[in-house]
C-alpha cells in the first residue's frame, strides 16, 4: 500500500465512527488543501476500500457524507453475499 493510502487508512482506523472532513484529511496527509475539483482524495479512498475490503458484508464501511466528509463505520450485522445469501 502506498504511503499516502496507508496514512489515510491509519487516520480512519484511529477515528472509527467519527466524521472526518476532506480538509482535515488533506491537511493531515498532504499538509495542504486539495481543490474541491480534484479527484485525488476520492481515488485514494477508493483504493483503500478495495485493498482493505471495507465492505458492509465484512463488518466495516467507509462512507461519504456529501459536502461533509468521510467516516469509517462498523457494521453490526454484516450481510452474507454470494451463494450463502438467502432471502427469508
Residue 85 vs residue 82, higher pLDDT = 82
**pLDDT (0 to 100) of residue 80:** 62
CA distances from 74 to 43, 53, 69 (A): 22, 13, 17
Question: What is the overall mean pLDDT for the chain?
Answer: 87
**pLDDT (0 to 100) of residue 86:** 46
Q: What is the pLDDT of residues 15-31, one digit of tens each?
A: 999 999 999 999 999 98
CATH number corresponding to 3-76: 1.10.10.10
Listed by start position, the domains of the chain span: 3-76
Which H/E stretch holds residue 43?
A: helix 40-51
pTM summary value:
0.80
Amino acid at each position: 500500500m502506498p504511503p499516502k493510502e496507508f496514512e489515510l487508512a491509519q487516520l480512519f482506523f484511529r477515528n472509527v465512527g467519527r466524521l472526518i472532513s476532506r480538509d482535515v484529511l488533506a491537511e493531515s496527509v498532504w499538509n495542504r488543501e486539495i481543490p474541491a475539483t480534484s479527484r485525488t482524495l476520492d481515488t485514494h479512498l477508493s483504493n483503500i476500500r478495495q485493498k482493505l475490503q471495507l465492505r458492509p458484508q465484512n463488518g466495516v464501511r467507509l462512507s461519504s457524507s456529501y459536502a461533509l466528509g468521510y467516516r469509517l463505520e462498523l457494521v453490526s450485522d454484516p450481510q452474507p453475499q454470494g451463494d450463502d445469501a438467502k432471502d427469508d
